[in-house]
Structure 1
Amino acid sequence: MANNEEVKNGVIFPVGEKNEAFAQYFIGQSYLQSLVADKDVNVGVANVTFEPACRNNWHIHHDGFQILLVTGGEGWYQEEGKQAQSLKAGDVIVTHDGVKHWHGAKQDSWFEHIAITAGTPEWLEPVEDDWYLQL
């Protein structure tokens, strides 16, 4: 598998705990480590780690945005109506307010990104296996 040891061992930021709070919005296992816990800062910053083939559901950020800074492994990002984009360490994704999208690991790789998020998420349908396995 590609880039596994570096990502699952948390070389840059800690991997964190199993992402139980949002598990219902993911297919597969993810891990979450909050990096900024300041109630006066209205932006969430977290390290999100995905085991191989793990991905989140389609979702929308309302009254906000999401910036993904890819720090390890290989993954996918897709906005509704567009082709899925292959991601690797160093890639940056900006998702604007109201844009339906999903992101997650490739089938054979762990994947990790820093998520900088503002607004309220609306969680939608899962990214189905039949479609995902064709990527």
Structure 2
Amino acid sequence: MAKHEELKDGGLFPVGDKNEAFAQYFVGESYLKGLVFDPKVSVGVGNVTFEPGCRNNWHVHRDGYQVLLVTGGEGWYQEEGKEAQFLKAGDVVVTHDGIKHWHGATKDSWFSHVAITAGKPEWLEPVSDEWYEEL
């Protein structure tokens, strides 16, 4: 049994539907629940839930930024050229414009964060299994 398995049914926010719209940019299964639908708000706000071992591809935010508010489980965040950071509930990550990075669950835990995103992501290569397994 994976750690924090209760997140698959929702945590602080609902788990949402399978993240089909961005599935091509993830290794493993993720779920997405939009949280803000006000056209006067110029940022996207969504709850993203990752199954154990799921992570997104390396990517860059253009003309914006991303703030991650970790709400449950255990995960990783890594910027290119830096050590991966272990994440747990209550952690906050700020990614500035143009910084190549990735984030996702640990191998044995569900993981959930609220992503507040301005600008457009530029999706890059997947995080290799070899790279991920060394964490």
Q: Distance in 2 between matches of 1:110 and 1:128?
A: 19
One-letter amino acid matched to 2:51: E
What whole-Å deviation, never above 9, does each CA across 1:26-59 have from its counterpart, x for those lacking one?
Answer: 0000000000011111100000000000000000
Q: How big is the shift at 1:8?
A: 1.4
Specify the alignment match of 1:83 in structure 2. 83
Superposition pairs for residues 61-72 of structure 1, below 5 Å? Answer: 61-72=61-72
Could you tell me which residue of structure 2 aligns to residue 56 of structure 1?
56
Partner SS for 1:131: helix
Q: How does 1:39-54 map to 2 (within 5 A)?
A: 39-54=39-54
Equivalent position amino acid for 1:82 in 2: K
| Structure 1 unmatched runs, 5+ | none
Unaligned runs of 5+ in 2: none
TM-score, normalised via structure 2 length: 0.97
Secondary structure in structure 2 of the residue aligned to 1:127: coil
Determine what percentage of the aligned residue pairs are the same residue: 73
- Asked if residue 15 in structure 1 is aligned to residue 3 in structure 2, the reply is no
Aligned to 2:102: 102
Partner of 2:3: 2
1:84, CA displacement in angstroms?
0.3
**Residue type matched to 2:5 in 1?**
N
- Size of the aligned set, in residue pairs, is 134
Supply the AA of the counterpart residue of 1:129. Answer: D
* CA distance in 2: counterparts of 1:72 and 1:37, whole angstroms: 23
The CA distance in 1 between the partners of 2:113 and 2:96, in whole Å, is 17
Superposed counterparts of 1:107-122, under 5 Å: 107-122=107-122
Give the letter for the 2:4 counterpart.
Answer: N
Deviation at 1:113, TM superposition (A): 0.0
C-alpha distance in 1 between matches for 2:116 and 2:99: 15
State the secondary structure of the residue aligned to 2:93.
strand
TM-score normalised over the length of structure 1: 0.97
